[in-house]
Each structure stands twice: as structure tokens, then as C-alpha cells.
């Protein structure tokens, strides 16, 4: 396996006429617990070992990462890359490191082998405990809606969890295979976040990427569950595109992204109306924001820190929404609704919103799902939306609600 100093951090786009057969899937197949795996629409990364962890101190996160990358380069790594996860709470320690070894391949979607069926066993013996119970979550939604009608705030994202306990050791490589093969065009990850803990998931949402002076953000807000019936699935998608509630929720998030990126961009293009993207379980309203940086000095991670948390995962106003989340959710979000991704010493990188994920430890998984609550929200509908979002991960472990 090559060292990080021997691997380029840029991967040219795959040629559809000459796909790289087996290059990306070999990295997926090579993942072992403790490794860092990240697949994006632009590349697939598999890292092992830790050359330099990013320290936790009073400096801003992007400054600490920049310093760590500079130290890695000074020690002989030609093209160091940092990879890992950042929590929802800015004050909590991040799980970022320059790996000792790194392999990079084209994206999973460009590898024809990703479409081949593989025999992957899942645990059939799960004990599932919702935290909080669905009716308690619904009551929290109702209370938040009442406060919004009183004018205290305009949106909050409230989450709930499922705690899954297995009678057998967790098979993280099998879970990762299922997540990646179910949606190879998304963002799939398995990253260590502490001793014996792994953050694993498949997110549809790019927070921000930077390549040279080009910036892309893809906020998602406004969702509806998909249907196995084609006609009903199309009807739901069309209804979402016309939903006043969801269009308003989406517009709030897009405006926040616009406001955060505008000071750093010489040009910024924000489409007037959203489009749709789909995952295996959900339809989402989507807007692709593109821009050109006014200065090459700001990194992808610095842009991510300026954006995080967007109203899509927190609410608005941000400070009030954070307080409502702390008062309502009976758990610490940890890395859920944080960001995962990679960045290099030149400032390029991709940072993804950490949703559709779980934290794995020994024989236990904690799954997370949230919904954007606005004044027009109904507790039953928001509870159903979170249940639909859980399906992404439940299918990866062979469990059902």
C-alpha cells in the first residue's frame, strides 16, 4: 500500500467510455474497522493508521487543520490529506487526522463492479429501542410549533434515535457494503470517532466543496418518503415540488448558505427554484449553489465552518434553535448533523452533512434521524418522516421497525 506522500490528492473525472474496473470497489472491499473510508461523487478514499491527529485546542478548527497539514508536509509527506468527522457542537473535539497511508480511486459510481450483487449477511437478532419514544418526539414537535406561533423562532430541526443492540458482534464492512452499493452516487463513510467507536452512514447532502477557486454547495431541505409504487412515487415528488411548507423551509436554508458564502465569493449563482434529488428512501428539495472565490486563501474546511450548522440541521435563529434542541432532545447528537470529509494542504476538499448515519460501538448501533419543524408542521407527519429516514440504515443491517 502506498504512503500518503506517494498518493496524489486529485483524481481526474472518470471517463465513462473507459471506466476504472475494480479500482473503487477494491477500496470498498479493503475497508476494515479502524480504517477511514469516504466515497464521494468525485473520488473514493481509504486511509489507515494515523500520522498526525488534529489537536483539540482554542484555535479555530481550520487553523488547526492547516497547521497539522503543514507539519505533515514538513515531515516529508508530499501531498498530505486530512480526513474525518466534525461534531454538531463546535466546542466538542473533532475526529480528524492525517492518515499514515492513503489510497485514492475514482468514484464508486464509475466502477462497473459496484452493480454486481454480493452476498452480505446481516444480523437477524436486533433489539430496537427508540429514544425518545415516537409519541414523546411528537409531543416535542407540537411544543416547538406552539412556540413558533408565539413568535419565539421560525424553525428548529428535532431529531430522534433508535438504539439497536445485536446478539452478535457488529459487521461494519458488511454494513458499509450495503450502504455504498445501495446508493453509489452519494456520500458513504465509515470513520473512527473514538476508542472502539465508528461513525458510519450514507449522506445525500454536500455542505461545500472547493476545487481551486470553484465552490459548490448543495443544501437539501424539504423531504418526503418515497413509495414502491411508481405512480405514487411520482405523485409524491410532484407534490413536494409544489409544497408551500417545504418550499419555504428550503428557501430559508438556501438563503443562509447564500449569506455565508457571499463574503468569500467574487461570483455566486443561486438558482431561483429548487429541483429534486432522490435516495433509495426519500425525495429531497435540492439547490446547487456555485461560486468563484474572491481569494484562494480560504479552504474548503473554513467555508464548511462558516456554513455549519445550516438551518437544514439546526434551525433559525441558530442560537435559539440550538437551545430548543438542547431542551428537547434527550441525547447528545455527537457527530450527527456535523460534517465529514477530506481536505488537502492547498485548501481543496469536500465536506458533507452527517445525516443518514449511526454510531457503532461493540454490539450497539445508535441511528439518528431528524426533521425540520416549522409553524405548519404536524407531529404525525414529522414522526413519519424520521421513520422513513431511518430506513436507509435499517436496510443496511437487516433490521425493521
In whole angstroms, give the CA distance from residue 268 to residue 284: 23
Residues facing 350 on adjacent strands? 209, 342
Residues facing 216 on adjacent strands? 209, 290
- First-to-last CA distance in the chain? 41
Query: Is 46:35 a contact under the CB 8 Å cutoff?
Result: yes
In whole angstroms, give the CA distance from residue 257 to residue 264: 12
| CA-to-CA separations, 167 to 46, 164, 188, 393, in angstroms, rounded | 29, 10, 26, 18
Which residues, in sequence order, are CB contacts of 146 under 8 Å at separation 6+? none
In whole angstroms, give the CA distance from residue 209 to residue 34: 25
SS3 247: helix
The beta strands (E) that lie in 71-181 are given as 81-86, 95-98, 101-105, 126-131, 155-166
Spatial CA neighbour of 305 closest among 333, 267, 338: 338
What's the DSSP call for residue 12? P
The vertex-341 CA angle with 35 and 224, nearest 5°, equals: 110
In whole angstroms, give the CA distance from residue 156 to residue 252: 12
Catalytic site positions: 155, 205
Spatial CA neighbour of 372 closest among 244, 205, 256, 220: 220
Amino acid at each position: 500500500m502506498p504512503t500518503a506522500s506517494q498518493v496524489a490528492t486529485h483524481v481526474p473525472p472518470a471517463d465513462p467510455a473507459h471506466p476504472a474496473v475494480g479500482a473503487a470497489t477494491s477500496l470498498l472491499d479493503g475497508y476494515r474497522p479502524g480504517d477511514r473510508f469516504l466515497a464521494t461523487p468525485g473520488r473514493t478514499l481509504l486511509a489507515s493508521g494515523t500520522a498526525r491527529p488534529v489537536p483539540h485546542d482554542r484555535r479555530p478548527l481550520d487553523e488547526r487543520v492547516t497547521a497539522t497539514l503543514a507539519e505533515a508536509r514538513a515531515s516529508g509527506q508530499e501531498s498530505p490529506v486530512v480526513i474525518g468527522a466534525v461534531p454538531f457542537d463546535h466546542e466538542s473535539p473533532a475526529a480528524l487526522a492525517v492518515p499514515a497511508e492513503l489510497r485514492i480511486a475514482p468514484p464508486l459510481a464509475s466502477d462497473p463492479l459496484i452493480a454486481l450483487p454480493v452476498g452480505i449477511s446481516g444480523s437477524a437478532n436486533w433489539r430496537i429501542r427508540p429514544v425518545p419514544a415516537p409519541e414523546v418526539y411528537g409531543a416535542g414537535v407540537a411544543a416547538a410549533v406552539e412556540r413558533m406561533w408565539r413568535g419565539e423562532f421560525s424553525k428548529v430541526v428535532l431529531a430522534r434515535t433508535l438504539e439497536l443492540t445485536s446478539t452478535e458482534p457488529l459487521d461494519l464492512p458488511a454494513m458499509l457494503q450495503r450502504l455504498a452499493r445501495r446508493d453509489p452516487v452519494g456520500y458513504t463513510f465509515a470513520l473512527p470517532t473514538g476508542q472502539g467507536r465508528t461513525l458510519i452512514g450514507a449522506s445525500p447532502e454536500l455542505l461545500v466543496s472547493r476545487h481551486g477557486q470553484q465552490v459548490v454547495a448543495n443544501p437539501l431541505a424539504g423531504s418526503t418518503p418515497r413509495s414502491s409504487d411508481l405512480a405514487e412515487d411520482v405523485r409524491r415528488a410532484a407534490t413536494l415540488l409544489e409544497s408551500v411548507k417545504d418550499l419555504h423551509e428550503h428557501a430559508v436554508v438556501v438563503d443562509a448558505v447564500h449569506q455565508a458564502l457571499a463574503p468569500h465569493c467574487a461570483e455566486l449563482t443561486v438558482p431561483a427554484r429548487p429541483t429534486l434529488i432522490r435516495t433509495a428512501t426519500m425525495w429531497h428539495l435540492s439547490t446547487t449553489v456555485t461560486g468563484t472565490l474572491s481569494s484562494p486563501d480560504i479552504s474548503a474546511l473554513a467555508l464548511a465552518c462558516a456554513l455549519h450548522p445550516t438551518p437544514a440541521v439546526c434551525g433559525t435563529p441558530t442560537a435559539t434553535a440550538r437551545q430548543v434542541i438542547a431542551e428537547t432532545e434527550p441525547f447528545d447528537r455527537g457527530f450527527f448533523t456535523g460534517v465529514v470529509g477530506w481536505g488537502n494542504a492547498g485548501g481543496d476538499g469536500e465536506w458533507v452533512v452527517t445525516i443518514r448515519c449511526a454510531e457503532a460501538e461493540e454490539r450497539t448501533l445508535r441511528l439518528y434521524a431528524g426533521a425540520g419543524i416549522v409553524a405548519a408542521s404536524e407531529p404525525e407527519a414529522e414522526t413519519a418522516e424520521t421513520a422513513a429516514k431511518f430506513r436507509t440504515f435499517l436496510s443496511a443491517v437487516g433490521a425493521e421497525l
